Amino acid sequence: MFADLVYETLRKVPKGKVTTYSALARAIGKPRAARAVGNALNKNPYAPEVPCHRVVLSSGKVGKFAHGTKQKMKLLEAEGITIEKGIVPKRFILTRL
């Protein structure tokens, strides 16, 4: 199932790092499915074991979160990720999984 593949792959993103929706889509072999990845993460029944808060936009913007953007930012900052004006610096972003 598509969502299960997304969740399994996202589990590989370590604490203190993030990835992007498009990188996650590429990692599961569906490079044009970034939006579908986002939809699957919005319905994530396995949080926090599947850390959907560790997925950001390709631009580095934090993006949306089922529990609100402020909560997503708090979770990321608690993991040591700095956020500057709503953007995660490139040094924290994994583009290949």
pLDDT at 47: 87
Q: Which residues are catalytic?
A: 52
Q: What is the pLDDT of residues 18-69, one digit of tens each?
A: 999 999 999 999 999 999 999 999 999 998 899 999 999 999 999 988 889 9
| CATH assignment of the domain containing 52 | 1.10.10.10
Q: How many domains does the chain have?
A: 1
Residue tagged 């990692």 (tokens): 27
Range of the domain at 66: 2-94
Banded pLDDT at 95 (limits 50, 70, 90): very high
Contacts of 19 (CB under 8 A, 6+ apart): 10, 13, 27, 54, 55, 56, 93, 94, 95, 97
Strands 55-56 and 93-94: unpaired
Q: What is the pLDDT of residues 71-80, one digit of tens each?
A: 999 999 999 9
Q: How far is CA 84 from CA 6, 61, 77, 87, in A?
A: 27, 9, 11, 5
Residue 43 contacts residue 6 (beta carbons within 8 Å): no
